[in-house]
Amino acid sequence: MTEQDSTQRLPEESGETGSCQLDRRTFLSKSLAAPAMLLAVLQPAPSDKAAAAETPQAEAYRPSQHNYAMGIDPGKCIGCGRCAEACKTENNVPREPFYFRTWIERYVIQTDGQVTVSSPNGGLSGFPPVQETGILRTFFVPKLCNHCANPPCVQVCPVGATFTTQDGVVLVDESYCIGCRYCIQACPYGARFLHPVKRTAEKCTFCYHRLVKGLRPACVEVCPTQARIFGDLKERASPLSRFMRFNQIQVLKAHLNTEPKVFYANLDGEVK
Amino acid sequence: MPQQIWRLLVVFGVLVTGLVVARHFLIPKTFGEIGHYRAAAVSSVAARKVNYAGREACAVCHDEIAKDYVRRKHGNLTCEVCHGAGAAHADAPTEVKLQTPRQRAACLLCHSYDPSRPTGFPQIDPVAHNAPKPCVGCHNPHAPEPPHTPEQCGACHGQIARAKEVSPHAALECTQCHKVEKQHLLTPAASTPSVPTSREFCGQCHASGAASAKEIPRVDMAAHGQLYVCWQCHYPHYPELR
* Residue among A53, A78, A160 whose CB faces B37 most closely: A160
What CA–CA distance (Å, rounded) separates B218 from A219? 53
Instruction: Give chain B positions within 8 Å (CB) of A90.
Output: 50-52, 85
Nearest CA to CA, how far is A183 from chain B (Å)?
A: 15
- Regarding beta strands A68-72 and A262-265, do their DSSP bridges make them parallel or antiparallel, or are they unpaired? parallel
CB contact under 8 A, A129 and B117: no
Instruction: Give chain B positions within 8 Å (CB) of A123.
Output: none
Q: Are residues B206 and B217 in contact, defined by beta-carbon separation less than 8 angstroms? A: yes
Q: How large is the average pLDDT for residues A64-69?
A: 95
Backbone angles phi, psi at B227, to 5 degrees: -75, -20
Closest C-alpha among B88, B72, B204, B84 to residue B141: B72
Task: Supply the ipTM of this predicted assembly.
Answer: 0.81
Search chain A and give the residue with CA nearest B88: A90
Closest C-alpha among A50, A62, A29 to residue A234: A62
* Residue among B44, B76, B110 whose CB faces A78 most closely: B110
Nearest CA to CA, how far is B80 from chain A (Å)?
A: 7
Closest C-alpha among A254, A204, A55 to residue B46: A55
Q: How large is the average pLDDT for residues A71-98?
A: 95
Give B111-127 pLDDT, tens digit per residue. 999 999 998 888 888 88
Q: Are residues A154 and A186 in contact, defined by beta-carbon separation less than 8 angstroms? A: no
Structure confidence at residue A114 (pLDDT): 94
Closest C-alpha among A72, A76, A73, A48 to residue A62: A48
CB neighbour class for A153 (10 Å; exposed up to 12, middle 13-18, buried from 19): buried
Interface contact B76, partner A, CB < 8 A: yes
What CA–CA distance (Å, rounded) separates B178 from A51? 62
Closest C-alpha among A69, A196, A200 to residue A145: A69
CB contact under 8 A, A209 and B50: yes
DSSP one-letter string for A92-118: T---STT--SEEEEEEEEETTS-EEEE
Give A216-228 pLDDT, tens digit per residue. 999 999 999 999 9
Instruction: Give chain B positions within 8 Å (CB) of A147.
Output: none
What Rg do the C-alpha atoms of chain B give, in angstroms? 34
Backbone angles phi, psi at A137, to 5 degrees: -145, 150
Q: How large is the average pLDDT for residues A163-183?
A: 96
Q: Does residue A40 have a pLDDT over 60? A: no
B79, B82, B117: best to mutate for the A interface, most A CBs within 10 A: B117
Would you place residue B190 in the very low, low, confident or very high pLDDT band (cuts 50, 70, 90)? Answer: confident
Search chain A and give the residue with CA nearest B107: A80
Q: How large is the average pLDDT for residues B140-159?
A: 83
Q: Does residue A147 have a pLDDT over 80? A: yes
Q: Are residues B81 and A222 in contact, defined by beta-carbon separation less than 8 angstroms? A: yes
CB contact under 8 A, B50 and A138: no
Interface contact B45, partner A, CB < 8 A: yes
Q: How large is the average pLDDT for residues B174-203?
A: 90
| Span of A25-29, A146-150, B135-139, B229-233 with lowest mean pLDDT | A25-29
State which amino acid sits at residue B131.
A
Contacts of residue A98, Cβ cutoff 8 Å, sequence gap at least 6: A193
CB contact under 8 A, B46 and A166: no
Give A12-36 pLDDT, tens digit per residue. 444 444 445 677 777 777 776 765 6
Give A87-104 pLDDT, tens digit per residue. 999 999 999 998 999 999
Backbone angles phi, psi at A239, to 5 degrees: -55, -35
How many other CB atoms are there within 10 angstroms of residue A233's CB atom? 17
CB contact under 8 A, A89 and B43: no
Structure confidence at residue A35 (pLDDT): 58
Q: In chain B, which among 10-39 make CB contacts under 8 A with chain A?
A: 28, 31, 34-39
Closest C-alpha among B94, B124, B97, B119 to residue B108: B124
Instruction: Give chain B positions within 8 Å (CB) of A108.
Output: 116
Closest C-alpha among B178, B126, B113, B86 to residue A221: B86
- CA A256 to mean position of chain CA atoms: 20
CB contact under 8 A, A163 and B41: yes
What CA–CA distance (Å, rounded) separates A162 from A155? 9
Search chain A and give the residue with CA nearest B51: A90
| Span of A138-147, A170-179, B208-217 with lowest mean pLDDT | B208-217
DSSP one-letter string for A1-58: -HHHHHHHHHHHHHHHHHHTT--HHHHHHHHHHHHHHHHHHHTHHHHHHHHHHH-SS-
First to last CA, chain A: 90
Interface A:B, Cβ pairs < 8 A? 128
pTM of the shown model: 0.80
Q: B145-151: which pairs have CB atoms within 8 A and are 24 or more residues apart?
A: B145/B72, B145/B73, B149/B185, B149/B186, B150/B185
